[in-house]
Amino acid sequence: MAALLGVFAWQSAPVWTQEGLGYITGTKWFYRQHEFGALPLIYGSMMVSAVALVLAGPLGVGAAICIAEYLPSRARFAVKIPIELLAGIPSVVYGLLGALLLRDWVYKTFANFEPLSGDTLLTAGILLGIMLLPTIVTLTDDALRAVPAAQRRAGRALGLTQAEVIWHISLPQAQRGIGAAFLLALGRALGETVAVFLVVGRQDNMLPSNLFSLEPLLAAGQTLTSKLGGSEINIAYGDPLHWGAMMGLGLLLLSLTVGSALVGTLKRSGDA
């Protein structure tokens, strides 16, 4: 892992020496002028992942509560196995479905807001949300099942309703595990390439003046992964600075995904 980070750090050295921290805070990416600012890409990745988690989070936790707390164990397996299968579907399949169905749906549904096309950050976020849902459901279900049944019985014996047991006993105890599920899902969201690539629009330099505005969600954007997945890497080859800038994106991406997955895994294992 450290070796991988090392390779990326070494390969991207030219851009760090030229741009310094401006590489991360810079808002313009014009490779032919040798201007490399990765902030719009980081913004794109964050927005897309945020939309995905906001959509898939509550839905996923709700579904997991239903599966873990209400279904008898046979039915639980009947539901859980297909969900885990869903989590394993290659992302290009989701991407193609998104390109076929979701683009048009977003384009038509949000027609009042006049998006220029169906390729938007929102489209990518919704698609990612759908992809993350099975991951969140199955990990949250595991976390809830790890809460000892004796505690639930004790709760019921004290006169709590089942809903109160879930709210006051199961969820608080599974908190760490659920947090881990979100972080692992975030890691996957940040690193997802193909599906996002097909629906995000891949438009550079789309940093809004107000970072908390929702308006840019309905515009095209670019994420760290969609930039790396495009053909610019072929142009960069042979130009040390440009190549360094592309490798720098790899370094940023790696740090973000590894960071969230690492914290998530630590939380999860600490919970068990």
Partner 1 sequence: MPRLADMKLTPFLLFLAAITCANAAPLKINGSTTVNLPVAEAAEILRAERHLDIQVDTQGGSSGGISMLAEGSVQMGMSSKPVSAEDQEKYPQCRFHSIHIGEDAVALIVSKDVWDNGVRALTKAQLKDLYEGRVTNWQQLGGAHSQRIAFFNKEPGRGTWEVFVHWLYGSPKNAPQVSFPEVGGNEETRGKVATTRGAISQLSASWADGKSVFALALVGEDGVAVQPSAENIASHKYPLSRPLFVLTNGEPTGDAKVMADFLLSERGQSLVEKHGYLPLNALVK
- C-alpha to C-alpha distance for 72 and 147, rounded to whole angstroms: 16
Q: Cβ closer to partner 1: 19 or 232?
A: 232
Interface positions with partner 1 (CB under 8 A):
30-33, 99, 103-104, 107, 114, 116-119, 198, 201-206, 220, 230-232, 234-235
Q: Cβ closer to partner 1: 134 or 221?
A: 221
- Least distance from partner 1 to the Cβ atom of residue 114, Å: 8
Q: Is 189 exposed, middle or buried (0-12, 13-18, 19+ CB in 10 A)?
A: buried
Q: Cβ closer to partner 1: 118 or 134?
A: 118
Q: Kind and range of the H or E element at 270?
A: helix 240-271
Instruction: Name which of 260, 182, 211, 264 is nearest 44 in CA terms.
Output: 211
- Least distance from partner 1 to the Cβ atom of residue 25, Å: 18
- Least distance from partner 1 to the Cβ atom of residue 34, Å: 11
- Least distance from partner 1 to the Cβ atom of residue 32, Å: 5
**Per-residue CA distances from 99 to 102, 103, 115, 200, 248 (Å):** 6, 6, 16, 10, 29
In the block, residue with structure tokens 């859980």: 80
In 10 A of CB 22, how many CB atoms? Answer: 16
Q: Cβ closer to partner 1: 88 or 114?
A: 114
